[in-house]
Amino acid sequence: MLVNLIVNGQPRSIEVAKGEFLLDTLRHLDYLSVRRGCDSSSCGVCTVLVNGKPTPSCSLLTVRLDQQEITTVEGIAKEAEKLATHFGHEGADQCGYCNPSMALTVYAMKKELKKPTLEQIKAYLVGNLCRCTGYQAQHIAILHYLEDQS
Amino acid sequence: MKVVNQLTPSIDGKGLMMGRHGYTDDFADKNALIIKVMRSPHPYARIVSIDDAEAKKLPGVELILSYKDFERRPFTRAGQGYPEPSPHDKFVFDEYVRYIGDEVLCVAAVDEATANKALKYIKVEYEILTPILDFETAKQHSVIIHPEPEIHEMFPIGFKPLENVAASYHMHIGDVEKSISDSEVVIKESFYTQAQAHSMMEPHTVNSRFDYQNRLVLYSSTQTPFHVRRIISQALQFPLSRIRVIKPRVGGGFGGKQAIHGEIICSAVSIRTGKAAKLTYTRKEVYESSYTRHPMRLDITLAAMKDGTLKAIDCYVLSDTGAYGEHALTVFMVAGSKVLPLYNKVDSVRFYGDVVYTNHTPAGAFRGYGAIQGNYALESAVDILCQKLGMDPILFRQKNMIKEGETSPIFSIMGEGTEGTAMNMDTCKLDYCVKRGMELIHWNQKYPRTQTKKDIVEGLGMAIAMQGSGIPYIDMGAATIKLNDDGFYNLLVGATEIGQGSDTILAQIAAEALMTSVDKVIVYSSDSDLTPFDVGAYASSTTFVSGNAVLKAAETMKHQLIIESAKALGSEFKDIEFDGEIFNDSKHQKQISLKDLSNRLYYNHDQKQLMVTESYVGHKSPPPFMAGFADVSVDLLTGEVKVNHYVSVVDCGVTINPKLAQGQVEGAIIQGMGMTLYEDVIYTKTGKLITNDFMSYRIPTRMEIPSMTTEFAESYEESGPFGAKSVGEIGIDTPPAAISNAIYNACGVRITSLPITPEKILKGLKKLKEHSI
Amino acid sequence: MDVLHYVLPNSLAEAYQLLHEDLNNHVIGGGVWMKNTLKSINTLIELKHLIGEKIEVTHEVIKIDANCPLRQLEIHPVIKDLYDGIISQSIEKIMGVSIRNVATIGGTVVGKYAFSDLLAALLAVDVTLVFFKQGRMELSKYLESHEKNRDILISIEIPIKKGTGYFHKVSTTHLDFAILNLAITQIDHQFRIVIGARPGIASCANQAMELINHAKEIDDTLINEVAECCVKELSFGSNFRGSEEYRMTLAKVYVARGLWEVIHHAS
């Protein structure tokens, strides 16, 4: 089935099987920042934005997304870089496998919540698992990022 | 110091956050054959027949491989130095399958759907055998898990396969029985630890192809690229010189990627088809068919005098290595060697036991291996003893624990598979760690408990721990530094960045020694063709072993640079001062910049490439130490536990990168906390793992984490690069005992098996109530 | 997942007919759980163009289209306040935000998931379901029926009344499924007590509700009696998340705590 996606503002037409998930479609299209961590929609690693909202790309059938706007981390490069600066200062990045999905979710949170508290940040990001950092440094970095007006 | 011990963001953080390619799967060929492994549905069975005729007819099925396609050549997947201290008890495929999830055969097809379909078309008939699912009954069981005659040990490790024993060990110092009978207070307790799963975010994955030189090139998510290359060559009898293993960015390892996973099968497919191939584990395969922490039972006896002098430690350990013996002996050894020296003043110590085979997922390396099990048992036992002595557990530890300048006979007796190495504790700030931790957790105000709400009690607990810094006389790391025109450097290391930040800290070490900045040191790590050898990322060795190699290489490079600058300036070596940018001969008022010297070397005069390689092998393994303190709340009606605050005070020498070191400690604390409280491993009665995905295997989320305070003691280890010891594993050791002790102090319930679930606590509370009535 | 056909029917009638042509034809909601449970599907019936995702608020009722994602429900200002926000609270505890952006209320209700936190909260405020064929049906009735219901859910209606509420989920980690969940409301002076994930599906503790709703005076003794009653009348079981015995203890403790909170909040 032919599906027309809008990925990071660019129209992309692709022939997909009806049972294919967005994660696989995006990787076929070489958006390799979108990655798989599990098979049960429970780790957050594959998160992309669909019409601006964080969404598990491993669980969305591509055929349902005709004409929808998909954003991968490449589409928010400046914000990702800014967040990375704060992660760097706090030593909050380790293996980095989940960092693009983290950047997308934090970016969406910034748009959705005004001045979130630490508890709100945790609640918003709880679906993004991390086995490396112990989370605390991430939270400090995210708080700094949210305050960063540059 | 300008770079070392300074705030330095990781050199790769930005690129990774921005989604740049770099992980193994990003390098897989687009047309790679997809490999799927058929896995055993039985815990123990013999394959009677394989009917793959229908599957072979499927269009797109390229190759099906089973035990019939390989010579019987046993090896170990452990990913250790050679000869390995693990038994050679694994075949690429075998006629026998030994756990649910074991490899039966593999299919390589043009795409995943075809490969999966082919698996469904293959009929395998099994003779189902009686499995051993309880490791306490495994030794000398009537069922033998490894009856095959070809398997062997590489040197004596107590390997007795006909008794289901993969390894065994016994050591003693002094007369334990006598010390115990001479003591005034004796406690005895058994502890159980579970098969914790690494749960790194990137599943195990590998891809392979032949390049234009007709060499086999693999990208693998591995912690040990050089060992992987060697083991592939041995197992498949393929020339080592024709294999290149590239470790790209790795999405977490924690020991789970020290051992071989799909590399051999993937290589075999490429070798037989000449085509590119890839094998990525599903999350279920990661849980069921990679490796776990070794579950253990530890029986501890402690004997002391009434004044709190510890006289004897007696420790029997039974360890479950599952179906294969990866790291069977070494993990077992560490349960003693990196735990017992904490109390070095005892008259006698005994440490002995067996590592047995069972029909469960094989155990392997996992951050803090052995040490976390041993620490949980010993540090819990110490608190039990203190309770009986009526002594403050901190006073007891301060009286009995190891101190700077001291040693323990354990160091020379127990190594990892071989004898150990005697050493003095040139740096040991354990005293400070304990004192500072008490302040940060408000020990004197809050210990042992405070009632915070109706039904909620808060308690404090603590534990001390030690680790190592590489394996002396075994672990080798090497580093090459190359000068480029324009005056910047390449640092080529075999050391394996797996997310812990080793590329960054090795660049910092080189930059500090060369008096330049990190951006002038471009790191390339772990490519078996291009970088020098390194054993890999394990045993807390990278900062200490590989770091020392980098420091040596940088010093040699500096020396070479000064020689060349002296030549260029017509000066004498001794008259040159180098500040990282300018070579200055102030006596004769001559100078040249590094940039000009480099350009001159490559383009103008006396042209030559400056490139140096140095290696380092440790002659000691200076232990990092820490004290961990937990503040927990227990709900007396439901047994639910919350860790409110965790304090870590760590002596790891000088931290090369303080923030990354803190990240190592805190990440490890949370993994340790997961093992302590949440990460239950549950099998069905027939040996099938129930907890085989992120929905059933509960790793801590960001909602469970306590507030963490992490500090480093001031400490300078002479033998380490710029005073550093290791920090990768130490953080994981204390949470089980510290949290367990805190729970006891809060509510009087002592849990001796991990994880400590609310149900277990509630049962304990009910029992307490019954006894008090 | 193998999907043979993906169809956007022209009408609900057509969709209904399609659904009944083959047991392996399915209406897709958010699709998250479908992926975890179904390996192959004959026809996937898409209804996003026929059933919306709006939330409409009148004086008496909140009407929610079946395709409304859980996250929209969770952050809706009226729902956040209604009955002390128990519906929002129950959703907050389901996986992460990204899943809740996809999973729909329709999918949650039709799935009748025993582990569902949201169903416990919805049952405690007694919502009404509107089906294409069967018309209006109380959620409690729907959950009690054991028949395989192959109707199409169009919307859900939550009554707006004055009342207080309490929701609690017990789980090992935040992302884990409930060992037990419970929702308690006091609406129009009537208590409702719902316990789910026992591990059976959310149910009202009717006898316990009777006991407290007919009591002249509510004190600690009565609260304990009510909690005991819940444990006696509802069935509890064991799975790897928790034993029957532990679930019963949790139920007792949290019913008492919940009632106490609801009562003190109301006064």
Query: In the numeric block, which tokens belong to residue B203?
Result: 């599943």
Q: How many domains does chain A have?
A: 2
**C16-37 average pLDDT score:** 91
Tens of pLDDT, residues B227-246: 999 999 999 999 999 999 99
What average pLDDT is seen over chain B? 97
Residues on chain C touching B637 (C-beta within 8 angstroms): 249, 253
Examine the domain organization and report whether B425 and B528 are in the same domain: no
Q: Is C242 on the interface with B (CB under 8 A)?
A: yes
Examine the domain organization and report whether B630 and B569 are in the same domain: no
Question: What sections of B250-406 are H helices per DSSP?
Answer: 263-273, 283-289, 328-337, 371-389, 393-400
Examine the domain organization and report whether B504 and B570 are in the same domain: yes
CB C15 within 8 A of CB C50: yes
Distance from CA of C31 to the nearest CA of A (A): 7
Please count the other Cβ atoms lying within 10 Å of the Cβ belonging to residue B596: 17
Examine the domain organization and report whether B345 and B452 are in the same domain: yes
Banded pLDDT at B328 (limits 50, 70, 90): very high
Size (chain C), residues: 267
Which residue range forms the structural domain that includes residue A56? 2-74
Examine the domain organization and report whether A88 and A69 are in the same domain: no
Examine the domain organization and report whether A69 and A80 are in the same domain: no
Q: Rounded CA gap, C19 and C39, in Å?
A: 18
C-alpha distances (whole Å) from C125 to each of B591, C62, C105, C153 are 84, 12, 15, 19
Q: Rounded CA gap, A16 and B116, in Å?
A: 18
Examine the domain organization and report whether A113 and A131 are in the same domain: yes
Where b means 16+ CB within 10 Å and e means fewer, B401-430 reads bbebeeebbbbebbbbbeebbebebbbbbb
Task: Check residue C1 and give its pLDDT.
Answer: 85
Of residues B541 and B46, more confidently modeled: B46
Which one of B253, B280, B307 terminates a domain? B280
Strand-pairing partners, residue B708, are B646
**C141-169 average pLDDT score:** 93
Task: Check residue B436 and give its pLDDT.
Answer: 98
C-alpha distances (whole Å) from C220 to each of C186, C216, C226 are 17, 13, 10
Banded pLDDT at C267 (limits 50, 70, 90): low
Examine the domain organization and report whether A12 and A59 are in the same domain: yes
Examine the domain organization and report whether A29 and A92 are in the same domain: no
Task: Check residue B44 and give its pLDDT.
Answer: 98
Which residue range forms the structural domain that includes residue B607? 476-617
Tens of pLDDT, residues A61-120: 999 999 999 999 999 999 999 999 999 999 999 999 999 999 999 999 999 999 999 999
Please count the other Cβ atoms lying within 10 Å of the Cβ belonging to residue C262: 23
Q: Rounded CA gap, B488 and B66, in Å?
A: 51
Examine the domain organization and report whether A52 and A10 are in the same domain: yes
Which one of A50, A74, A98 terminates a domain? A74
Tens of pLDDT, residues B502-520: 999 999 999 999 999 999 9
Examine the domain organization and report whether A131 and A69 are in the same domain: no
Q: Is C255 on the interface with A (CB under 8 A)?
A: no
Tens of pLDDT, residues C50-76: 999 999 999 999 999 999 999 999 999
Which one of B231, B252, B280 terminates a domain? B280
Question: What sections of B93-251 are H helices per DSSP?
Answer: 112-121, 176-182, 225-236
Examine the domain organization and report whether B512 and B637 are in the same domain: no
Q: Rounded CA gap, B346 and B22, in Å?
A: 51
What sign has the CA pseudo-torsion B237, B238, B240, B246? negative
CB B233 within 8 A of CB B243: yes
C-alpha distances (whole Å) from C128 to each of B435, B723, C120, C122, C140 are 62, 69, 14, 9, 9
- Shortest CA distance to C171 belongs to which of B752, B758, B456? B758
Task: Check residue C34 and give its pLDDT.
Answer: 84
Select the residue from B8, B17, B712 to test the A interface by mutation, using most A Cβ atoms within 10 A. B17
Select the residue from B8, B11, B16, B643 to test the A interface by mutation, using most A Cβ atoms within 10 A. B16
Q: Is C177 on the interface with B (CB under 8 A)?
A: yes
Q: Mean pLDDT lowest for which of B195-199, B563-567, B656-660, C31-35?
A: C31-35
**Which chains border B (3 or more CB–CB pairs < 8 Å)?**
A, C
Q: Rounded CA gap, B724 and B718, in Å?
A: 8
Residues on chain A touching C101 (C-beta within 8 angstroms): 50, 53-55
Q: Rounded CA gap, B459 and B448, in Å?
A: 6
CATH at B73: 3.90.1170.50
Of the candidates A38, A132, A133, the beta carbon closest to that of B283 is on A38
Assess if residue B192 is contained within a domain: no
Examine the domain organization and report whether B253 and B324 are in the same domain: no
Assess if residue B624 is contained within a domain: yes
Query: Strand C25-27 to strand C40-45: parallel, antiparallel, or no bridges (unpaired)?
Result: parallel
**B458-473 average pLDDT score:** 96
Examine the domain organization and report whether A111 and A56 are in the same domain: no
CATH at B417: 3.30.365.10
Where b means 16+ CB within 10 Å and e means fewer, C217-229 reads eeeeeebebbbbb
Q: Rounded CA gap, C139 and C156, in Å?
A: 9
**Which chains border C (3 or more CB–CB pairs < 8 Å)?**
A, B
Which one of B565, B584, B617 terminates a domain? B617
Examine the domain organization and report whether B544 and B606 are in the same domain: yes
In the predicted structure, residue A56 carries a pLDDT above the cut 90 = yes
Longest pairwise C-alpha distance within chain C: 61
Q: Which residues contact A149 (CB under 8 A, 6 or more apart)?
A: none
Which one of A74, A89, A115 terminates a domain? A74
Examine the domain organization and report whether A8 and A29 are in the same domain: yes
Give the E-state strand segments of B590-722 in sequence order.
Answer: 590-593, 611-617, 625-635, 641-651, 707-712
CATH at A98: 1.10.150.120
Distance of CA C128 to the CA centre of its chain: 11
In the predicted structure, residue B417 carries a pLDDT above the cut 80 = no
In the predicted structure, residue C266 carries a pLDDT above the cut 70 = no
Where b means 16+ CB within 10 Å and e means fewer, A42-73 reads bbbbbbbbbeebbbbbbbbbbbbbeebebbbb
Examine the domain organization and report whether B319 and B338 are in the same domain: yes
Distance from CA of B318 to the nearest CA of A (A): 28
Q: What is the ipTM of this complex?
A: 0.98
Tens of pLDDT, residues B171-209: 999 999 999 999 999 999 999 999 999 999 999 999 999
In the predicted structure, residue B392 carries a pLDDT above the cut 80 = yes
Q: Which of A46-60, C24-38, C147-161 has the highest mean pLDDT?
A: A46-60
Q: How many domains does chain B have?
A: 3
Tens of pLDDT, residues C195-244: 999 999 999 999 999 999 999 999 999 999 999 999 999 999 999 999 99
Examine the domain organization and report whether A48 and A28 are in the same domain: yes
Cis upstream peptide for B758 (omega within 30°): no
What average pLDDT is seen over chain C? 95
**Surface of B (493-532) touching A: CB under 8 A:** 498-501
Examine the domain organization and report whether B602 and B635 are in the same domain: no
- Shortest CA distance to C21 belongs to which of C186, C150, C200, C164? C150
Residues on chain C touching A53 (C-beta within 8 angstroms): 71, 98, 101
Examine the domain organization and report whether B332 and B379 are in the same domain: yes
In the predicted structure, residue C148 carries a pLDDT above the cut 80 = no
Which one of A45, A74, A103 terminates a domain? A74
Assess if residue B171 is contained within a domain: no
Q: Rounded CA gap, B51 and B120, in Å?
A: 11
Distance from CA of A87 to the nearest CA of C (A): 22
Examine the domain organization and report whether B268 and B394 are in the same domain: no
CATH at A45: 3.10.20.30
Q: Rounded CA gap, B569 and B586, in Å?
A: 11
Examine the domain organization and report whether A59 and A7 are in the same domain: yes
Examine the domain organization and report whether A104 and A137 are in the same domain: yes
Q: Rounded CA gap, B172 and C78, in Å?
A: 71
Examine the domain organization and report whether B466 and B521 are in the same domain: no
